[in-house]
Amino acid sequence: MIKVTRLNDKIFTINSDLIEMMEETPDTVITLTGGNKFVVSESIEVLIGRIVEFRRNCFPICKEKESTKL
């Protein structure tokens, strides 16, 4: 789950595994696999960063592999 912000500054969470598509029109619109759409204030780049961080926390082996590369 990632936190996102509606245009009215209300924060809520979305299951990032259900995101089908994100587009900037210029507001960012997140479309879920069930067809629900949410307009949020974060950019796509910020959302991708949050998704990556969430998945790293879910799968700690990814963190270990990255730290051994350094």
The residue count for the chain = 70
Contact 13, 51 (CB under 8 A): no
Beta bridge partners of 11: 5
User: Domain limits of the chain?
Assistant: 2-69
Residue with tokens 């997140």: 30
Predicted local distance difference test score (pLDDT) of residue 58: 86
Predicted local distance difference test score (pLDDT) of residue 60: 73
Predicted local distance difference test score (pLDDT) of residue 27: 94
The whole-model pTM stands at 0.81
Of the candidates 56, 59, 47, 57, the one whose C-alpha atom is nearest the C-alpha of residue 3 is 47
Question: β-strand 37-40 against 2-5: which pairing, if any?
Answer: unpaired
pLDDT in tens, 5-58: 999 999 999 999 999 999 999 999 999 999 999 999 999 999 999 999 999 888
Predicted local distance difference test score (pLDDT) of residue 65: 59
